[in-house]
């Protein structure tokens, strides 16, 4: 996408050294492609794993919406890779536990509470426990739905055991404990993207604030999602691995800490950034996606809590830690500021979104196209009130 990680990524060797110095163990690294079945089988033969944590997928909704090539590549990559893992498990590690990263986005935003994977339903006088309907919002999110179905089926026919983790939107730079406990070595920071496709909302808002660019609220900004810091994501995966299900069981965990609207998040970043002497701004921009901008959202998330998950509740201090980690890399981020504005649209066209106050500051060429439906002055951090911002908009786009 023409971007790069806001935080420099150290070499694999340097990261392994740093990991070893903290954890007293050195992971064995093999580079390969999960869609290459020989690679996967060789890996399983060598490792004979007891648990597999499968994060090896393309994670980006916008990337999958670029065109047919990207949509098909994302589906192939994600579905084929997982199928290879499932067959390698059947043949070489049938007792192992698969912890597979799904996404909360598989469920979409139905006008119902969202259970953890399954629900009891009564229909025409009969009852059953069935998978909760999935209504994904991008080809990427659908690839995860198809994966989930495949993993569920493999558990049924091969007797495998799996935990499908429906993860919310992850943010943060530090993954050991809460940010206060994170070792100082920068080689232990995570990669952090800020481009339109691989940067997630809160990570982008922090990068935008560090370089004085406005935080980009897509549309109304009332889209609500589950969020969790990356250190909690690691905690949840560890809990899942430590507590495997029975053979043949397919279980689903909804993994997030709390739900927030996008404008609530931006307001939080603005408050912390202002406190640190930055000059954060929030602006609403045409939503390049087709998604509900106002909706019910109340997913269950009890399974991980029952296993002992202790959420890092202090989002403000996680945001502060992110800004502290990002500030020294101001120039790295600023040099790539052109990748911040979205231009991948869900209808398949490619055009930079314009700010909803009618200007895009990027030249008349990109401003061409559908006129903005809302005229609203730029909101400054000092007077940002997300409730007011929301009221100013006449229509919720679907
Ligand atoms: N959004 C903005 N402004 C931005 C970026 C995003 O308002 O600058 C909005 C989007 O329109 C969307 C929400 O924020 O409503 C979340 O967008 P995102 O880009 O942070 O996250 P998303 O595309 O949903 O995907 C991310 C990860 C994906 C994971 C998913 C979890 O990239 O791998 O599966 O979060 S979930 O959202 O729960 O499905």
Candidate from 1, 102, 103, 270 with most ligand 1 atoms within 8 A of CB, to mutate:
103
C-alpha to C-alpha distance for 261 and 1, rounded to whole angstroms: 26
pLDDT tens sequence across 148-197 = 999 999 999 999 999 999 999 999 999 888 888 888 898 998 899 999 99
For this structure, is 238 an active site residue? no
**Does residue 6 sit within a domain?**
no
Catalytic (active site) residue 140 = yes
Instruction: Decide: 233 in ligand 1 pocket, CB within 6 A.
Output: no
Cα of 200 from ligand 1 centre, angstroms: 5
Q: Which one of the listed residues 107, 140, 171, 309 is annotated catalytic?
A: 140
How much is the pLDDT for 239? 97
Flag whether 371 is in a domain: yes
Question: What residues of the chain score a pLDDT lower than 50?
Answer: 361-398
Task: State whether the beta carbon of 315 lies less than 6 angstroms from ligand 1.
Answer: no
- Residue 200 CA: nearest ligand 1 atom is 20
> Which long-range CB contacts under 8 A does 238-245 form with residues at least 24 apart?
239/304, 239/307, 239/308, 239/309, 240/99, 240/163, 240/165, 240/304, 240/307, 241/51, 241/53, 241/97, 241/99, 243/307, 244/51, 244/97, 244/161, 244/163, 245/97, 245/161, 245/162, 245/163
Question: What is the pLDDT at residue 358?
Answer: 67
What is the model's pLDDT at position 327? 98
Residue 201 lies in a domain: yes
CB of 104 shorter than 6 A to ligand 1:
yes
78 lines ligand 1 (CB under 6 A): no
Q: Does residue 3 form part of some domain?
A: no
Is 45 within the bounds of a domain?
yes
Domain interval for residue 354: 12-391
User: How far, in Å, CA of 254 to CA of 165, rounded?
Assistant: 6
Q: How many domains does the chain divide into?
A: 1
The answer to whether residue 396 is domain-embedded is no
> Is any atom of ligand 1 closer than 6 Å to the C-beta of 284?
no
Mutation choice for ligand 1 from 169, 254, 257, 283, CB with most ligand atoms inside 8 A: 169
Residue 238 confidence (pLDDT) = 96
Give the strands of the sheet with 379-380, arranged side by side.
215-218, 281-285, 379-380
CATH code at position 332: 3.40.50.720
2 within domain boundaries = no
Task: Answer whether residue 4 is part of any domain.
Answer: no
Q: How far is the CA of 210 from the centre of ligand 1 (A)?
A: 20
């Amino acid at each position: 996408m023409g971007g790069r990680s806001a935080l420099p990524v150290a070499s694999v060797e340097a990261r392994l050294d740093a990991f070893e110095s903290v954890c007293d163990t050195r992971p064995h690294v093999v580079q390969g492609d999960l869609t290459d079945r020989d690679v996967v089988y060789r890996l399983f033969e060598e490792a004979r794993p007891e648990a597999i944590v499968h994060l090896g997928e393309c994670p980006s909704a916008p990337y999958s919406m670029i065109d047919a090539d990207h949509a098909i590549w994302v589906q192939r990559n994600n579905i084929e890779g997982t199928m290879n893992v499932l067959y390698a498990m059947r043949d070489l590690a049938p007792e192992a536990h698969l912890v597979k990263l799904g996404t909360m986005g598989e469920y979409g935003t139905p006008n119902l509470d969202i259970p953890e994977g399954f629900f009891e339903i009564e229909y025409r006088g009969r009852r059953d426990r069935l998978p909760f309907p999935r209504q994904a919002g991008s080809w990427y999110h659908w690839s995860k739905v198809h994966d989930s179905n495949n993993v569920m089926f493999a558990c049924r026919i091969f007797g495998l055991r799996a935990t499908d983790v429906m993860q919310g939107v992850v943010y943060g730079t530090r993954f050991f404990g809460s940010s206060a406990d994170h070792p100082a070595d920068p080689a232990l920071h995570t990669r952090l993207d800020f481009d339109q496709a691989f940067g997630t909302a809160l990570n982008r808002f922090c990068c935008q604030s560090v370089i004085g660019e406005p935080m980009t609220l897509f549309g109304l900004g009332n889209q609500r999602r589950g969020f969790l810091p990356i250190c909690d994501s690691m905690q949840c995966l560890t809990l899942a691995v430590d507590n495997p299900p029975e053979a043949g069981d397919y279980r689903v965990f909804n993994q997030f800490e709390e739900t927030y609207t996008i404008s609530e998040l931006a307001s939080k970043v603005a408050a912390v950034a202002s406190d640190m002497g930055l000059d954060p701004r929030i602006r609403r921009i045409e939503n390049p996606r087709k998604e509900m901008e106002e909706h019910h959202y109340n997913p269950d998330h009890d399974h991980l809590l029952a296993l002992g998950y202790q959420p890092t509740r202090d989002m403000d201090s996680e945001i502060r830690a992110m800004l502290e980690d990002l500030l020294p890399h101001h120039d790295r981020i600023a040099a790539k500021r052109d990748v911040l504005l979205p231009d991948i649209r869900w209808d398949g066209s490619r055009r930079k979104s314009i700010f909803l106050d009618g200007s895009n500051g990027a030249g008349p060429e990109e401003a061409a196209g559908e006129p903005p439906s809302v005229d609203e002055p730029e909101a400054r951090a000092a007077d940002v009130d997300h409730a007011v911002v929301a009221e100013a908009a006449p229509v919720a786009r679907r």
